[in-house]
Amino acid sequence: MKTIFKTLALGLLLIATASCEQHDPFDENTITGAIGPHAYWTIESSMVKAGETMGFVGQYYSTVDRDYIDHSEVWYELFEVEDKVVTASLIKAFTYSVTSNITAQKRMLQTIQSYPHSEDMYSDSLRAYVLEDRFPVSNTLSPITWAQPTDTVGFNKNLYAYFGENFAAEFKAGVTAKMNPSEEERNYAAYMNVIQGLSLLTDTIVTANGDRMPYVQWITDSTFNANTNTWVKGFKLNDTVWSKVNFDTIGFKVDSTPIKEGRPPVIVGYKYDTTPILKPVVEEVIYVYPQIKNAIDSVWENHVSFYDLIQGADGYSIGYKREYYINAELRVYDRKGFVEGKDTPGAYTGGTYSKTDEKKISIN
């Protein structure tokens, strides 16, 4: 097999060598296309204000026939960059934020402005035509920034416009899911953080000014702080009373010390069916009344708003920014293949063009 392969390869090489001596088939059969004018440009800045114009200097020449050059055009495509961030600043027990960054093309590459060609533009020193002009940028492309608002004036209008009508409810639902990882587990520290932060915890049903508070005395457990001379309120999660009426959930922290032979188990409580719970050694028992859980859920649903959750020291912890940029290029057209327009005599409807490199321009 190796010998046959070498012989075949040598034969092909001889054929190719012989062919090259007679003519070049690659040169004969390859179509390279029409050659357009050579073009180059510079712009005055990488940024432009919406509603203003961008200055540029273009240079171009033809290696075929400069009499064919017809005109130049500026083209650009438009992109929108949208940034969003919302943070539940009220909660300190964990971090919860919703962020997004989206870049999308809003306008396809298209003609923005056309510039006529003239022999007067030719520079003998540069041996090229020089086009010094400007192109416009729409005033509708101004950036929008809405961040850390300090009041609710126009808040809902902007919230709906930038984040959608259902965002507030969806955000709070996300926070709720974070605070309740499962049916058996909830972050009481986070709930306490929110409810105490909003001053929704009290030992009395009615406050001094007559407002009815969402909590009654049996839900709270106050401890006097001698350093601050104040009462510190908390959830009454633990009690010495065990009953099927109040008991809801139970968890054990078990001593990891190996059980010695003959050591009796310890009875630590009773479930609904009054069956004793037997554990080798129990260091801590944690349980919660269902009434407390229901009361917390009621306050969370009815007294804690989306606006409460995002309230920060410097205003609402919400931000929205929309800005635009363009990718622009200069195209120089010649009249090779020119076809006169049917409706407008003399109109340019064909030809060859060359383009410059793209310039990314931010709009501010």
DSSP letters spanning 247-267? --EEEEEE--SPPPTTPPPEE
Higher pLDDT, 111 or 34: 111
Higher pLDDT, 263 or 241: 263
165 and 202 in a single domain? The answer is: no
Tokens of 67: 């009499």
Tokens of 87: 């943070």
46 and 158 in a single domain? The answer is: yes
103 and 10 in a single domain? The answer is: no
Burial class of residue 257 in the structure, from the number of CB atoms within 10 Å of its CB (0-12 exposed, 13-18 middle, 19+ buried) = exposed
CA dist list (Å): 310 to 85, 90, 148, 188, 319: 11, 6, 10, 19, 11
199 and 302 in a single domain? The answer is: yes
Per-residue confidence (pLDDT) for residue 222, from 0 to 100: 62
The predicted-structure confidence for 107-134, as pLDDT tens digits, reads as follows: 999 999 999 999 999 999 999 999 999 9
Per-residue confidence (pLDDT) for residue 246, from 0 to 100: 38
225 and 129 in a single domain? The answer is: no
221 and 278 in a single domain? The answer is: yes
Q: Tell me the pTM.
A: 0.66
Sign of CA dihedral 232, 234, 238, 241: positive
339 and 211 in a single domain? The answer is: no
Per-residue confidence (pLDDT) for residue 209, from 0 to 100: 52
270 and 339 in a single domain? The answer is: no
Find tokens 């020089």 and name the residue.
130
- Determine the average pLDDT of the residues in 213-217: 43
Q: Does residue 189 surpass a pLDDT of 90?
A: no
Q: What's the pLDDT band for 192 if we cut at 50, 70, 90?
A: confident
Higher pLDDT, 363 or 214: 363
Q: Contact 309/97 with Cβ under 8 angstroms?
A: no
The predicted-structure confidence for 162-183, as pLDDT tens digits, reads as follows: 999 999 999 999 999 999 887 7
C-alpha to C-alpha distance for 231 and 220, rounded to whole angstroms: 11
Higher pLDDT, 260 or 78: 78
Q: What angle do CA 87, 92, 98 make, to 5 degrees?
A: 20
364 and 273 in a single domain? The answer is: no
271 and 210 in a single domain? The answer is: yes
310 and 326 in a single domain? The answer is: no
C-alpha to C-alpha distance for 194 and 198, rounded to whole angstroms: 6
List the one residue out of 215, 180, 209 whose CA is nearest residue 196: 215
136 and 237 in a single domain? The answer is: no
Per-residue confidence (pLDDT) for residue 182, from 0 to 100: 78
The count of domains in the chain is: 3
The overall average pLDDT reported for the chain is: 75
Strands (E) in the chain, as ranges, are: 38-43, 47-48, 53-61, 69-87, 97-116, 122-123, 128-136, 144-147, 220-225, 230-235, 249-254, 266-270, 276-279, 282-288, 311-312, 315-316, 318-334, 353-355, 359-363
Per-residue confidence (pLDDT) for residue 252, from 0 to 100: 41
The predicted-structure confidence for 270-308, as pLDDT tens digits, reads as follows: 444 444 444 444 444 444 556 667 777 888 998 899 999
Per-residue confidence (pLDDT) for residue 90, from 0 to 100: 92
C-alpha to C-alpha distance for 43 and 137, rounded to whole angstroms: 14
For 244, the domain range is 176-319
